[in-house]
Chain A
Amino acid sequence: MSSTVVPTERHDSPDENIRHREKGNRSFLGLKIVSTVAALIPVLALLAIVAVLLSESLPAIKLNGISFFTKFAWRPGGTYSLPTKTDGILHPVGSSFGIWPLLAGTLESSGIALLIAVPVSIGAALAVVKKLPKGLSTGVGFFLEILTGIPSVVYGLWGVMTLGPTLSRDVFPLIAKHAPSGFGFNFFKGNVGHGEGLITSGIILAIMVIPIISATTRDLLKQVPTLTEEGGMAIGMTDWETTKKITLPWVSKGVIGACILGLARALGETMAVAMVSGSVLGTIPSNLYSTFTTIAATIVSQLDSALTDGTGFYVKTLAETALVLMVITLLTNVAARLLVKRVSSSGLPVGRGV
């Protein structure tokens, strides 16, 4: 370091030295202004996003009304016949939109993802921190990084080409056959499909959120003070009892926060789900294997056809859909951040998980 702090120019008279410093401070003022502007950009971007979504979706919000959240229909309407006007808003004949099936699909697939990812992530983090030698745990870190780094289209490609077909051929029929019948279990029975559907999406989403939950839990576990754990050992607990009764409760709040961050990621995931969900609009999944769609997947797969709607009403409805998605993920993220509060040692915003 010391070699770098020596100024390159020498100033013999103190006057000159002061002048040099003032010149530096002037350029520094410039930097301050520029960096203030840069720091304001996320705020401006947020405002812009909200403004664009609101102004674009306003007609749709008006026309779709409150039934947007209760209806099961997703009908863009006829684009070949002349559009009609309702309440002064132009829209295709017979168009009718309800976000409920998309919302249900989003919540169900993310719920399945969390059910799988939470125990797996916490278990893996425990093994890494408490049991593995240091060299090996760096190796596991590498796998976690690979999992975060793989683009979501590649997850989708793998899911739709290998995972889905394999599971629907070898695993799903077994589950469907042996699941007990009765209330609640019928969800596990029925047609197992061809691999594109709710459970496949849930599994893919689980794999995508595992690195988020696992890495955060691992970093949290490392911060647990040793003395408290030693106390447990000293009164004769086994290492597992110490972990269960002392270590895990110590970090529980942060782990819950990490899980909610994972949930936010799963709720907003687009490409992978668009590829493995089967993209069926307007129906709620009837069993674990049936095709469905989520809010994010609908926006990406429908914007193309929405552009053919001459009245622009479909695009505006998608804006409303995007607004709903944004509100949901925002609430989840805020909840998670209140719980986690700067625990990630990597110091990154953990939102997107990358």
Chain B
Amino acid sequence: MSELPNNPSSPQSQSDADRLNFETLSKLVEVQGIKSNTTRGFKARIAWSLSYLTLLLVITPAVLIVGHVVLQALPHFQFSVLTSNTTGLGGGLKNEIAGTLVIVLGVLVIAGGLGILSGIYLSNYAKNKFGNFLRSSSEVLAGIPSIVFGYVGYIALVVHFHWGFSLGAGLITLSLMVVPYVSKTTEVALRQVPSGYSEGGEALGLSEGYILRRITLKSALPGVVTGIIVAVAIATGETAPLLYTAGYSQNLPKLAVTHSPLGYLTYAVWTFYNQPSKAAVQLSYDAAFLLIVGVVLLIVISRIVVSASQKHSENR
């Protein structure tokens, strides 16, 4: 979701006017007769047709993937999948659904909390070289492949700390992976709050903590929420960091930090798709279907948040 429409204060209105000008001008050029009956006009037409074709190449895979999973999962979908645990290579996905929810909640608390705090620090105090150092190391962390996180989580937490495959190991690994996203969006959102807001608060003699809590953070809320949604989306869809940290279990997740392996939906997709039994493959598709439903829900929520925030923003 690098492209969540989350930037409430991007200069959208200006670019609309710009586009209008561009279109008017292209029409003018057309009137002058350059466009339709010269080689140059012909070249332009070919080029734009190709660009429409590439647009089609972007949309088609999305439709195909979602369509394939829905068509494989929905016709045989039974609601018992939601209410029974996985047994061997069959059964339902109740333990995986519960596991994914627990992981999402945990990441929400850990990465959400740490990310918001670090975003506050970066936007309020870190205007020097040290701040830039913190920022770039956070971006470097975001660029590390997820399997490296998984491997390090396994070696450090599961083996050296003797935590075993556990909720704690999975949560810490995954949270560290997504903290940069929350931190970055929080920082950007806080920076975009007009300074007049907090200055007004100071003029009223409010304490700095009160200003931050009730004025600045409140105005930056949509951006913060978007960052958290991205974190949740990653937590829902990742597999590699969890395989060797959270492990797997066919029971409902135990709410303990150590020695508490748990199942999650992406594990079901990854493990059951190449099993010989039809029930297992079906389970794999069911899990993929639930994951896609989750992703679409998250996208819709983030869009609602953004449009709600734009309704109240001043520079609409």
The A interface is mostly helix, strand or loop, or mixed, namely helix
Contacting residue for B266 out of A23, A151, A239, A268, CB 8 A: A151
Task: Please name the residue on chain A nearest to B21 by beta carbon.
Answer: A226
Task: Please name the residue on chain B nearest to A6 by beta carbon.
Answer: B204
The answer to whether B22 touches A349, judged by C-beta atoms less than 8 angstroms apart, is: no
Known: A149-B1, A270-B147, A347-B184. A53 touches B55 (CB 8 A): no
The answer to whether B299 touches A142, judged by C-beta atoms less than 8 angstroms apart, is: yes
Q: Which residues of A contact B25 (CB under 8 A)?
A: 229-230, 233-234, 239
**Is A249 interfacial (CB-CB < 8 Å)?**
no
Count residues of B near A (Cβ-Cβ below 8 Å). Answer: 128
**Is B284 interfacial (CB-CB < 8 Å)?**
yes
**Is A216 interfacial (CB-CB < 8 Å)?**
yes
The answer to whether B273 touches A161, judged by C-beta atoms less than 8 angstroms apart, is: yes
The answer to whether A322 touches B54, judged by C-beta atoms less than 8 angstroms apart, is: no
Most buried by B among A5, A134, A149, A330: A149
- What string of 1s and 0s marks CB contacts (under 8 Å) between B52-81 and chain A? 111101110111111011001000000000
Contacting residue for B137 out of A42, A126, A140, CB 8 A: A42
Known: A145-B299, A216-B2, A333-B140. A151 touches B58 (CB 8 A): no
Stretch among B88-96, B249-257, B287-295 lining the A interface? B287-295
Q: Which residues of A contact B55 (CB under 8 A)?
A: 123-124, 127-128, 132, 140
Count residues of A near B (Cβ-Cβ below 8 Å). Answer: 126
The B interface is mostly helix, strand or loop, or mixed, namely helix
Q: Which residues of A contact B125 (CB under 8 A)?
A: 32, 35-36
- What string of 1s and 0s marks CB contacts (under 8 Å) between A307-350 and chain B? 00000000100110010011001101110010000001111111
Q: Which residues of B contact A144 (CB under 8 A)?
A: 3, 58
- CB contact list, A291-308 vs B, under 8 A: 296, 299-300, 303
**Is A158 interfacial (CB-CB < 8 Å)?**
yes
Known: A239-B44, A348-B181. A39 touches B134 (CB 8 A): yes
- What string of 1s and 0s marks CB contacts (under 8 Å) between B203-222 and chain A? 01111111010110011000
Q: Which residues of A contact B156 (CB under 8 A)?
A: 48, 52
The answer to whether A158 touches B65, judged by C-beta atoms less than 8 angstroms apart, is: yes
Distance in angstroms from B109 CB to nearest chain A CB is: 13
Interchain CA distance A207-B176 in the complex, whole Å: 27
**Is A354 interfacial (CB-CB < 8 Å)?**
yes
**Is B15 interfacial (CB-CB < 8 Å)?**
yes
Q: Which residues of A contact B150 (CB under 8 A)?
A: 300
22 contacts between A and B (CB under 8 A): A52-B155, A56-B155, A123-B50, A145-B1, A146-B295, A147-B58, A157-B288, A158-B65, A210-B58, A229-B25, A238-B43, A239-B44, A239-B48, A270-B239, A270-B240, A326-B145, A329-B143, A333-B139, A348-B230, A351-B139, A352-B143, A354-B233
Additional A-B contacts beyond A35-B118, A239-B22 (19; CB < 8 A): A20-B207, A28-B209, A34-B117, A36-B121, A38-B115, A53-B151, A148-B1, A153-B291, A156-B269, A156-B270, A236-B34, A238-B26, A239-B26, A296-B147, A322-B151, A325-B147, A325-B148, A347-B188, A354-B2
Q: Which 4 A-B pairs have the closest CB atoms?
A: A24-B207, A268-B145, A123-B54, A151-B237
